[in-house]
Amino acid sequence: DIVMTQSPDSLAVSLGERATINCRSSQSVLYNANSKNYLAWFQQKPGQPPKLLIHWASTRESGVPDRFSGSGSGTDFTLTISSLQAEDVAVYYCQQYYSIPYSFGPGTKVDI
């Protein structure tokens, strides 16, 4: 099974400042045949289901603000919130969908 890790466990960022969350997979999630990284990022606010923000490591879902961006390849990935807004307070999870079970990272809590 692929094990996902995230760092930090939590972070506090001032409004308007940048937040950076790291995600690492225990083996590469890059499929060489199509050059795609099978890595997604989710946002979960209290009392709500998770929301898909980014898939293929860097493709934003429709309607997701462009202050959210994903980068990385192979085993190391980053989610960046360029200018934190109050509504971005949430827990963020990465997930690999390269091989079953499609495991999630443990989550990173972002606060103001």
Partner 1 sequence: EVQLVQSGAEVNKPGESLEISCKGSGYNFSTYWIGWVRQMPGKGLEWMGIIYGGDSDTRYSPSFQGQVTISADKSISTAYLRWSSLKASDTAIYYCARHSLATVTADTFAIWGQGTLVTVSS
Interface ranges with partner 1 (CB under 8 A): 1, 31, 38, 40, 42, 44, 49-52, 55, 61, 91, 93, 95, 97-98, 100-107
CB of 53 to partner 1, least distance (A): 11
Tokens of 18: 């940048």
Separation of alpha carbons 76 and 26, rounded Å? 9
Tokens of 7: 């760092």
CB of 50 to partner 1, least distance (A): 6
The rounded radius of gyration (Å) of the Cα atoms in the chain is: 13
Considering beta carbons, is residue 69 or 97 the nearer one to partner 1? 97
SS3 state at 14: coil
CB of 91 to partner 1, least distance (A): 8
